[in-house]
């Protein structure tokens, strides 16, 4: 049995069993919230004194004590007592130890139910800013690559079959679009979580004359929550955040899948530098894209975090239930994983080179400009369905004779359709196919350059 007295000991005759203390404790992971817990407590004590619920003298002692504790914790000199149930109790107990009875007034008009909601909102608000910064950095890296690879042509794929030539820059910008949407989603998520929960207390609010807008102002929340029951039961912001993190992991994972393929001998499109690859313990020739594979693997783990939180919530009766303590490990894991992956991926990308000659060669094969021939016929007035069939026949015969469009002379083309003219020869070149797609969203060099400029305009402000 532990010596330390529980704050809720009044109701109990027996001490808590040691293994129950261990089982119910969240201190080993929620201690990372200490900064936010103290920040929230300082604001709460300030408000309590402003409202004359506690004296200014007591508030001053509380705040001084909390700042001292924060100082020790920041230095890593604070010794946690594993018998404490969570970070809230650890800090409150220490505070009372340091400043005496004034410390016992801090928890007035507050419950750990609204306190934990506050800590997590403050934590996530700060972490979101950090993740947005990483997403911006990744977009900047993609724009840099899009600029340096502006003349690199690659085969675009559908069904993993060569489809149409595109600029490698267009490919990079496709991911820039995804990461920019992720950034916007985080902004939305932050808006919804940026609401003060403190004051909901256990679930029904308090009879004491608190001023929630004052606390909100002190903690820089633009709004206070509107329903005390919702406030202590709500973990939507965690689910929402992990969903956004999952989607970012999906984007990273898809990018990684391409890089894994591209760095194979079969493709030979990309070369990830030695410093960002690993070797094999048996095969001396191997240089493996392990970072890309691990990111792909870690996407699975963040999805697991999302399912953990959704499953945790689905059957919970209103309002707070202790199950909710299990929300933090998946959240922390998702935060840490997405941050790690975004930052290492951005670095790896900066240390990857792309083989333009190999890509061009691949883009030239596989009849990747067949659609251009069909569009040529459309311009001559042939209905698209018919044009599709004509070009289909040309391709089928070229495949049989192991030839390509480049092997066809004008008279060969004219056997399929009399309206072909000499300019068809240039239409089947990858660079002309690309530059023909000059509408908004297309892969023409001018359009891609324009989108690069738009991205730069947005990103340079960040």
Whether 140 contacts 449, CB under 8 Å: no
Least Å from the CB of residue 104 to ligand ARG: 18
Longest CA span, the chain: 101
Nearest to 245 by CA among 118, 124, 120, 119: 124
Whether 242 contacts 328, CB under 8 Å: no
Provide the terminal-to-terminal Cα distance of the chain, rounded to the nearest Å. Answer: 55
Query: Based on CB atoms, which residue is closest to ligand ARG, 51 or 321?
Result: 321
Least Å from the CB of residue 277 to ligand ARG: 41
**Helix %, strand %, coil % for the chain, to 5?**
65, 5, 30
Q: Give SS3 for 353.
A: strand
Q: How far apart are CA 399 and CA 57, in angstroms?
A: 89
Catalytic residue among 55, 209, 264, 280: 280
Catalytic residue among 101, 159, 281, 426: 159
Nearest to 45 by CA among 73, 70, 64: 64
Query: Based on CB atoms, which residue is closest to ligand ARG, 116 or 292?
Result: 116
Q: How far apart are CA 57 and CA 59, in angstroms?
A: 5
Whether 159 contacts 152, CB under 8 Å: no
Least Å from the CB of residue 133 to ligand ARG: 27
Query: Based on CB atoms, which residue is closest to ligand ARG, 7 or 104?
Result: 7
List residues near ligand ARG by CB under 6 A: 26, 30, 86, 112-113, 116, 320, 322, 324-325
**Locate tokens 């001084």: which residue?**
64
Residue 413, Ramachandran bin (φ over 0: left; ψ between -120 and 50: alpha; else beta): alpha
Q: How far apart are CA 153 and CA 142, in angstroms?
A: 16
Contacts (Cβ under 8 Å, ≥6 apart) of 272: 259, 263, 287, 289, 291, 292, 348, 351, 352
Query: Based on CB atoms, which residue is closest to ligand ARG, 241 or 262?
Result: 241
Torsion of CA 328, 331, 333, 338, to 10 degrees: -160
Query: Based on CB atoms, which residue is closest to ligand ARG, 30 or 183?
Result: 30
Least Å from the CB of residue 85 to ligand ARG: 7
Least Å from the CB of residue 111 to ligand ARG: 7
Is 280 a catalytic site residue? yes
Least Å from the CB of residue 322 to ligand ARG: 6
Query: Based on CB atoms, which residue is closest to ligand ARG, 58 or 85?
Result: 85
Least Å from the CB of residue 347 to ligand ARG: 35
Query: Based on CB atoms, which residue is closest to ligand ARG, 21 or 372?
Result: 21
Whether 204 contacts 320, CB under 8 Å: no
Q: Cis (ω within 30 of 0) for the bond into 220?
A: no
Query: Based on CB atoms, which residue is closest to ligand ARG, 30 or 58?
Result: 30
Least Å from the CB of residue 5 to ligand ARG: 17
Whether 262 contacts 341, CB under 8 Å: no
Whether 85 contacts 26, CB under 8 Å: yes
Is 159 a catalytic site residue? yes
Contacts (Cβ under 8 Å, ≥6 apart) of 223: 194, 195, 196, 216
Q: Catalytic residue numbers?
A: 159, 280
């Amino acid at each position: 049995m532990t010596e330390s007295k529980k704050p809720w000991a009044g109701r109990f005759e027996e001490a808590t069993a040691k293994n129950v203390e261990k089982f119910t404790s969240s201190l080993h992971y929620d201690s990372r919230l200490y900064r936010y817990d103290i920040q929230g407590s300082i604001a709460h004590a300030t408000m309590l004194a402003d409202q004359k619920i506690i004296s200014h003298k007591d508030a001053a002692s509380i705040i001084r004590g909390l700042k001292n504790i924060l100082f020790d914790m920041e230095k890593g000199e604070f010794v946690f007592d594993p018998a404490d149930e969570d970070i809230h109790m650890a800090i409150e107990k220490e505070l009372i130890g340091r400043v005496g009875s004034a410390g016992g007034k801090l928890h007035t008009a507050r419950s750990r139910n609204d306190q934990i909601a506050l800590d997590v909102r403050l934590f996530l608000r700060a972490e979101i800013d950090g993740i947005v910064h990483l997403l911006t950095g990744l977009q900047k890296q993609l724009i840099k690559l899009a600029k340096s690879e502006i003349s690199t042509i690659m085969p675009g794929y559908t069904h993993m079959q060569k489809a149409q030539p595109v600029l490698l820059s267009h490919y990079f910008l496709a991911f820039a679009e995804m990461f920019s949407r992720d950034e916007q989603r985080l902004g939305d998520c932050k808006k919804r979580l940026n609401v003060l929960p403190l004051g909901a207390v256990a679930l029904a609010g308090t009879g004491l004359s608190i001023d929630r807008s004052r606390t909100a102002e002190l903690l820089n929340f633009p709004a206070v929550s509107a329903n005390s029951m919702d406030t202590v039961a709500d973990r939507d912001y965690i689910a929402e955040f992990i969903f956004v993190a999952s989607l970012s992991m999906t984007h990273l994972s898809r990018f990684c899948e391409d890089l894994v393929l591209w760095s194979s001998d079969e493709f030979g499109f990309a070369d990830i530098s030695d410093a960002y690859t690993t070797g094999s313990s048996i095969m001396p020739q191997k240089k493996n894209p392990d970072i890309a594979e691990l990111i792909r693997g870690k996407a699975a783990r963040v999805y697991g975090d999302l399912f953990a939180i959704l499953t945790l919530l689905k059957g919970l009766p209103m309002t707070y239930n202790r199950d909710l303590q299990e929300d933090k490990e998946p959240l922390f894991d998702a935060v840490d994983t997405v941050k790690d992956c975004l930052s290492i991926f951005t670095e790896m990308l900066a240390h990857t080179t792309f083989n333009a000659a190999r890509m061009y060669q691949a883009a030239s094969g596989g009849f990747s400009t067949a659609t251009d021939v069909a569009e040529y016929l459309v311009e001559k007035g042939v209905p698209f369905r018919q044009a599709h069939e004509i070009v289909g026949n040309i391709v089928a015969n070229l495949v049989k004779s192991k030839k390509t469009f480049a092997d066809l002379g004008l008279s060969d083309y004219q056997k399929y359709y009399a309206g072909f003219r000499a300019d068809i020869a240039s239409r089947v070149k990858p660079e002309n196919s690309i530059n023909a797609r000059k509408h908004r969203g297309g892969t023409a060099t001018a359009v891609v350059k324009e989108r690069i400029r738009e991205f730069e305009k947005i990103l340079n402000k960040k």
